Structure 1
Amino acid sequence: MNGNMAKQDKTQWSSMYVWMLLVPLFWGGSFATAKHVVTEIPPLVAATIRFGMAGMILALIVTIQSVWKMDVLKVRWKGLLFIAVTGIFGYNALFFVGLHYTSVINGSLIIATMPVFTALGAVLFLKESWSGRTGLGLILTSIGVLVVITEGSLDALLSSSLNIGDLMFVAALICGVLYGLAGKAVMKDVSPLFTTTLTTLFGSLLLAVSSLLEGGWERVPHMSWQGWQEMLYMVVCGTLVGYIIFNKGVEQIGAMKASMYLNLVPIVATLASVVLYGSTVEWQQLLGMIIVLSGLYIAMFAKQK
């Protein structure tokens, strides 16, 4: 009996590793589509619409399924509010506003360190296990991301200089790490659907308040059909599906391993830019993608001898 349960748990965890591949696929695609959306409406307005629409849809699903857990909300509302402030509001607001003050390369380089800090935090504070295989995979994926972002140019890395936008990305990095670490504790024995619904609703309210200070809502009715299609993709794939799977991944495989999938986001964003907007990919970026995939395979799928 115990053997069958252990086998079932192992199969469930293995399938979670595969499901987690959808997170960078959807988030990377959202990154590429967001680049066009924010040319039509302000960043905080776009983020408010994205998470506001997603929150209302999630609330409808939770209501239909009758899975509102008010007792859980009363006990864990502080934790849920914390990950909403950090993961939904803080990260997205700082990320999109920071792009106005710094380059994509600088911002991407800073965010690319998130899996490293999340892994260290998970080992130190959440007592997650660490192995040589995990460390090697983390190093390889980090190197691969740097190669993709800088296109293999050492000059691009060395010529980067800090500015106010970079500081915003550092703050976004901190929010992302806190979200990944706190999420595991907050979501213990709680449905990822319920957790995602509440955090999305909380976060969208905070984004709405900040968007009023930014202004620009009068531009929303004039958005193009392409812009609304891209917004719909971000709502359904990037938010509804992406966050639910990521939260479930943090719950099952831990914050450290779940965060390593984020190294695939720049790869997907690059490929999406090629497919959707005709961008080109250099051989150095292809090499970086191969390194990232190799590191992820070693950390997640390769059997330890």
Structure 2
Amino acid sequence: MISSPPRGSHPFSLTACLLLVLAPLFWAGNVVLARGVADQIPPVTMAFLRWSGAFLFLIPFTWKHVRRDWLPLRAGWRHLLPASLFGIASFNTLLYTATQTTTAINCALMQTVMPAAIILCCFLLYGERISLLQGCGVLLCSAGAGWIVLHGELARLAGLQLLRGDLLMLIAVFCYALYSALLRRRPEVHPLSYLTVTIGLGTLLLVPLFCWEIGRVAAPAVSPTVVGSILYIALFPSIAAYLCWNRGIDLLGPNRAGLFINLIPVFAAGMAMLFLGERLHSYHLVGLLLVAVGMVLFQVQAHRQPPSAGRSSR
């Protein structure tokens, strides 16, 4: 990987900003595309083809790193297995399944609760204490996500009239939050070794579900739309976004770079309205406002938290 600048030296960089805008753009495109082809590509098949394609593309370039890091990777299997399960196999399969029954806008907005979910997972796993202010922020973020799930109607809770896709997306968010919390225990290996191995393991974990799904539904018909979709999700949100994001962090620093993740719902909402004809409703705005206020509350003391030990792929 390209070397990082000296610690503490993160001057403003237009290049870094461009890279950190491209990563959320690619991730937002993943959500919108999944919704757009939901009737053409089954969700598990889409996840399997995405990650197997990304693995096949990566391995010729990263094999030297994997081979060099093989011993610590093998010793760290107790971390790699759950990380691959939650971060690669579960998150994306649940996301693609969610797009079958809810909108791309909902899926994107639900991801704004991710920082709060990560804090909660770190508290449950490591007993990492949070301040009262951060606790209030977590509650507000959860309330915002809940408001989006309920579509702004509390009566849906009483009547259990919830969209299956919204609930699946909420579970997906917590799966990825758990994966992010687990990163601090990752083996001391090259980032590309870690990415390649977790993608490979995640793909293997999807094989039984993939076979089950193919036995129940027809395989997607080969068409320019299907092929183009698979190529996009295998290359851009899986690999290009990862490289852009990490290089941007190297140039700008993790604290300022982290703010760019909030561009995902902005880009996704715009693309969903433009390409899918979806509409932005008042409950979206209320939920997003609650999440934004919650994030401000727990980010007030975020500088006191140690930076994340690892880097991830969405």
- Which residue number corresponds to residue 176 of structure 2? 176
Residue 7 of structure 2, aligned match among 2, 6, 9: 9
**Offset at residue 69 of structure 1 (A):** 1.2
Distance 2:283 2:10 in 1: 36
Name the one with the larger helix percent.
1
Corresponding residue SS for 1:59: helix
**Offset at residue 52 of structure 1 (A):** 0.5
User: Is the deviation greater in 165-174 or in 129-138?
Assistant: 129-138
- Code of the aligned partner of 1:53: G
1:71-150 equivalence runs, <5 A:
71-100=71-100, 103-104=102-103, 112-122=112-122, 125=125, 149=148
**Offset at residue 71 of structure 1 (A):** 1.9
2:42 is aligned with 1:45: no
Aligned length: 289
Corresponding residue SS for 2:9: helix
Per-residue Cα deviation, 1:202-227 (whole angstroms, up to 9, x for no partner): 1112223211101178533x333133
- Which residue number corresponds to residue 201 of structure 1? 200
**Offset at residue 54 of structure 1 (A):** 0.3
| Contact 2:66–2:193 (Cα < 8 Å) also in 1 | no
- Code of the aligned partner of 1:51: W
Instruction: Provide structure 1 residue ranges, at least 5 long, that are not aligned to the other structure.
Output: 1-6
Per-residue Cα deviation, 1:257-294 (whole angstroms, up to 9, x for no partner): 95x76554333221111333344546886787788779
Distance 1:20 1:301 in 2: 22
- Code of the aligned partner of 1:10: G
- Which residue number corresponds to residue 63 of structure 1? 63
- Code of the aligned partner of 2:50: R
Distance 1:164 1:302 in 2: 35
Residue 159 of structure 1, aligned match among 153, 156, 161: 156
If the length of structure 2 is used for normalisation, what is the TM-score?
Answer: 0.69
If the length of structure 1 is used for normalisation, what is the TM-score?
Answer: 0.70
Distance 2:294 2:230 in 1: 32
Per-residue Cα deviation, 1:70-110 (whole angstroms, up to 9, x for no partner): 1221221221122001111122223333454x544876676
2:272 is aligned with 1:273: yes
| Contact 2:36–2:276 (Cα < 8 Å) also in 1 | no
Matched-pair identity in %: 26
Per-residue Cα deviation, 1:232-270 (whole angstroms, up to 9, x for no partner): 22111111133456688999849xx95x76554333221
Corresponding residue SS for 2:76: helix
- Which residue number corresponds to residue 234 of structure 1? 233
**Offset at residue 303 of structure 1 (A):** 12
- Code of the aligned partner of 2:197: L
Q: Aligned in 2, Cα 1:191/1:293: closer, same or farther, shift over 3 Å?
A: farther
Distance 2:292 2:109 in 1: 18
Per-residue Cα deviation, 1:176-201 (whole angstroms, up to 9, x for no partner): 221010022215x3322211111111
Instruction: Provide structure 2 residue ranges, at least 5 long, that are not aligned to the other structure.
Output: 304-314
Corresponding residue SS for 1:10: coil
Q: Aligned in 2, Cα 1:180/1:57: closer, same or farther, shift over 3 Å?
A: same
Distance 2:228 2:88 in 1: 22
Per-residue Cα deviation, 1:150-183 (whole angstroms, up to 9, x for no partner): 79x633x653535766664454343222101002
Distance 1:108 1:176 in 2: 14
Distance 2:152 2:282 in 1: 15
Query: What RMSD, in angstroms, separates the aligned Cα atoms of the two structures?
Result: 4.7
Per-residue Cα deviation, 1:41-88 (whole angstroms, up to 9, x for no partner): 211111111110001111111036776411221221221122001111
2:26 is aligned with 1:29: no
| Contact 2:65–2:190 (Cα < 8 Å) also in 1 | no
